[in-house]
Amino acid sequence: MEWATVFSGSNEGSVGTERGSERTLNPYVTGTSVLGLKYKDGVILAADMGGSYGSTLRYKNVERIKSIGKHTLLGASGEVSDFQEILRYLDELIIYDNMWDDENSLGPKEVHNYLTRVMYNRRNKFDPLFNSLVVGGVKNGQKYLGMVGMIGTHYEDNHVATGFGNHLARPLMRAEWHEDMSFEEAVKLLEKCLLVLLYRDRSAINKFQIAKITEEGMTISEPYALKTFWGFLAFQNPTKGAEGSW
List, by residue number, the catalytic residues.
24
Residue closest to 73 by CA, chosen among 127, 48, 36: 36
State the amino acid at position 66 in one-letter form: K
Q: What does the DSSP assignment read for the chain? A: ---EE--SS-SSSEEE-TT--EEESS--EEE--EEEEE-SSEEEEEEE--EEETTEEEES----EEEETTTEEEEEEEEHHHHHHHHHHHHHHHHHHHHT-SS----HHHHHHHHHHHHHHHHHTT----EEEEEEEEETTEEEEEEE-TTS-EEE-SEEE-TTHHHHTHHHHHHH--TT--HHHHHHHHHHHHHHHHHH-TT--S-EEEEEEETTEEEEPPPB--------HHHHSTTTT-TT--
